[in-house]
Amino acid sequence: MNIILVSNRLSRAVTLGPRHLWLVAIFCGLALFGLLTVASWATYNLTRSLGISLPTLPGVPVTQQRQIDLLAVRLGQMQAQLVRLDGLTRRVADRTGIDAKPFQSNIAAPQGGAMSSLPERSLNLAQLQALVGGADGKIENAIDQYDLFDTILTQRKLNTFQAPANLPTAAGVRSSAYGWRIDPFDGRQTFHEGIDFVGDVGTAIFAAAGGKVLKAEYHNEYGNMVEIEHGNGIISRYAHASQLLVKVGEEVRTGQKLALLGSTGRSTGPHLHFEIRYKGVPQNPLYFLQLGAKPATVKLASD
């Protein structure tokens, strides 16, 4: 292919053949490369003059470095959580007379044991992230528990707190414990935020402690549900009832009949789902309940 250039300033036409076109292309490429080199040099000098550093680790991909940075941030958060946990440990120890030193995070727990006969395994980044996440969750749970214990100890000292320690029903068989379980509806692993008591429809449900009724209503998942506020951020919840016997705002006493056991809401059969929450966070009811005792009951004039 030939290109013919015609100009008024020239007395004749100029023809550019393939050879000339290749020379023009090479010239343009060199010019573009030179411009990019100059631009890179200018950017580098500008960032240095402004004190901007571009962090790089030899041999570490950018995505992996980002994950390492996130782990470092999470480690800093965990260190702050441990400081808070140490403070709560000392407060609880002061109220109970327990020596707090063995439980402080700055004192390493003694460890040991024989060499394992199994081969060693190295952790990859994904496994390390999972372990850090698990430890983070355990620290948060420990802080919640210590907050709760601190509140209970303080209020008991002032004689102003009544813990929800009484069994909520005479149906003593427990079908599901607090914690992780296989969901009975979709087969996935989910966290069960209370404990379940199996019984016949119509079995009485009692208040685990005195307080004020916050909710007495139908919920899509909990079915007929009652919530009682016991003070200091602690509530107890009674779900899947066949009938509710109290109203919102009503003051109830320990052992007062609240509802009748049923299978309403997201339920596979008659049972009581019982929860205890502190500041909205579910707690293990077994920390409170006196499982060896019978439910305390109150005889009301309306019964």
Predicted confidence (pLDDT) per residue in 77-109, tens digit: 776 767 767 776 776 666 666 666 666 666 665
Residues 194 and 259 both lie in one domain: yes
pLDDT for residue 158: 47
* Pair (148, 221) in one structural domain: no
**Who wins on pLDDT, 5 or 253?**
253
Beta strand 271-278 with 257-260: parallel, antiparallel or unpaired?
unpaired
Range of the domain at 193: 173-287
pLDDT at 169: 93
One domain, residues 89 and 139: yes
Mean pLDDT of the chain: 75
SS (H, E, C) the chain: CCEEECCCCCCCCEEECHHHHHHHHHHHHHHHHHHHHHHHHHHHHHHHHCCCCCCCCCCCCHHHHHHHHHHHHHHHHHHHHHHHHHHHHHHHHHHHCCCCHHHCCCCCCCCCCCCCCCCCCCCCHHHHHHHHHHHHHHHHHHHHHHHHHHHHHHHHHHCCCCCCCCCCECCCEEEECCEEEECCCCCCEEEECCEEEECCCCCEEECCCCEEEEEEEEECCCEEEEEEEEECCEEEEEEEECEECCCCCCEECCCCEEEECECCCCCCCCEEEEEEEECCEEECHHHCCCCCCCCCCCCCCCC
Residues 156 and 219 grouped into a single domain = no
Q: Are residues 181 and 209 in the same domain?
A: yes
Same domain, 184 and 155: no
Task: Please check whether residues 45 and 140 belong to one and the same domain.
Answer: no
User: Looking at residue 240, which CATH number applies to its domain?
Assistant: 2.70.70.10
Question: Structure pTM?
Answer: 0.53
Domain co-membership, 157 together with 222 = no
CB within 8 A of 247, min separation 6: which ones? 213, 216
The CA-based angle 145-146-151, given to 5 degrees, is: 100
Same domain assignment for residues 232 and 272: yes
Asked if residue 215 belongs to a domain, the reply is: yes
Which of the four pLDDT bands, split at 50, 70 and 90, describes residue 286?
A: confident
**Residue 206 pLDDT level (bands cut at 50, 70, 90):** very high
Residues 135 and 221 in one domain: no
Would you say residue 80 lies in a domain? yes
Q: What are phi and psi of 247, to 5 degrees?
A: -125, 160
pLDDT at position 188: 82
- Shared domain for 146 and 226, answered yes or no, is no
For residue 169, the cross-strand partners are 205
Residue 201 counted as domain residue? yes
Q: Is residue 58 part of a domain?
A: no
Q: Is residue 195 part of a domain?
A: yes
Indicate the number of domains in the chain.
3
Higher pLDDT among residues 113 and 137, named by residue: 137
> Is 149 inside a domain boundary?
yes
Per-residue model confidence (pLDDT) at position 140: 73
In a domain, residue 122? The reply is no
- Which pLDDT band holds residue 128 (cuts at 50, 70, 90)? confident
Would residue 281 count as lying in a domain? Answer: yes
User: Quick one: 131 and 223 in the same domain?
Assistant: no
Identify which has the larger pLDDT, 299 or 251.
251
